[in-house]
Copies of this chain bind each other. A is one copy, B any other.
Amino acid sequence: MQTPWDYRYSSRSQRMASSAIRELLKLVEQPDIISFAGGLPAPDVFPIKEIEEACSRVLHTKGPQALQYGATEGYTPLREMIASRSARYGLNISAENVMITSGSQQALDLLGKIFINRGDRILTESPTYLGALQAWNAYGAEYVTVPSDDDGMNTDYLEEALRAGPKFIYALPNFQNPMGTTLTLKRRQRLVYLADKYGVPIIEDDPYGQLRFEGEHLPSVSVIDSQYRSSPNEKGYSGNVIYLSTFSKILSPGLRLAWIIAPPEVIRKLTVAKQGTDLHSPTFNQVVAHEIDSGGFIDQHVKLIRKVYSERRDAMLDALTEHMPTGVHWTHPQGGLFLWITLPEGMNTVEIFKYAIEEKVAFVPGFSFHPRGGGENTMRLNFSFCKPEIINEGISRLGRVLKTQMK
Contacts and interface: CB of A to CB of B under 8 A. Distances in A.
Contacts of A38: 69
A174 interface: no
A298 to B, nearest CB: 15
A55 interface: yes
A276 B109 contact: yes
A67 interface: yes
A31 interface: no
A405 interface: no
Nearest to A4: B201
Given A51-B67, A273-B13, A285-B285, A5 B201 contact: yes
A137 interface: yes
A372 B256 CA distance: 37
Chain A, interface size category, equals 35 or more
Nearest to A282: B256
Most buried by B among A5, A6, A69, A269: A5
Contacts of A64: 43-44, 46, 48
Interface in A59-73: 59-60, 63-70
A114 B10 contact: yes
Contacts of A18: 268, 271-272, 275
A145 interface: no
A253 interface: yes
Contacts of A265: 1, 3, 5-6
Contact of A138 (B5, B51, B102, B276): B276
15 contacts: A1-B263, A3-B201, A3-B265, A4-B199, A5-B262, A5-B266, A10-B117, A12-B113, A13-B115, A17-B272, A48-B63, A55-B56, A103-B279, A105-B279, A285-B285
Given A1-B239, A22-B275, A41-B68, 4 more contacts: A5-B239, A51-B67, A106-B278, A256-B279
Give the top 9 A-B pairs by smallest Cβ distance, nearest first: A43-B64, A254-B283, A134-B276, A67-B252, A48-B63, A3-B239, A67-B254, A4-B201, A106-B278
